[in-house]
Amino acid sequence: MDNKTHDKVVDAEIVEVSPSSDASDTTMNPLDELQNIQNLINSNITKIDKLTEDIKPVKEMLESLLDADLEYAELDQKTIEAAKAKMAKRKELVNTTNGRELNEKLKSMKSELKEARDALSDYLQNYQKKTGFNEYEGPDGELRQIVFSVKLVRKTKLNWD
């Protein structure tokens, strides 16, 4: 093994395959497959919650270490003061006539960009459903992969249907 490369197994599961199982036996029934997916989702939610909780004390210890160093504290204070001065100057410049116009134009363009991205996402999702293709060749001839991004968000009482 090359000394420059160190492969580590962080988390693994050993799965035993019985000698009597054949290749046609690899399909799960839909109910078992759904249960398996739900188990994976639940175990990952638990893992994420645990890691989130485990991170808090380590982050606090790091903050304590940084706060205990006088040179770091002095540099941190200078950074805060410089950031305040920068923000004050930015506010002054943005409040000029030209600054306000440019700021409004930027907001409008960002809104238009977001709408165009949302529409593209809808169009690509529709395209993928109708064709089954996960790639799309753009007008520039570049082949792009269609990637879906899904996340789980805690539902509050305000957005219950």
Looking at every residue in the chain, the average pLDDT score rounds to 86
Measured distance CA(59)–CA(67) in Å, rounded:
12
Residues 156, 158, 159, 161: what is their CA dihedral angle, to the nearest 10 degrees? 110
Q: How confident is the model at residue 96 (pLDDT cuts 50, 70, 90)?
A: very high
**What Å distances lie between residue 107 and 91, 117, 119, 146, CA to CA?**
16, 15, 18, 28
Mean pLDDT of 122-132: 94
- pLDDT of residue 101 exceeding 50, the answer is yes
- pLDDT of residue 138 exceeding 70, the answer is yes
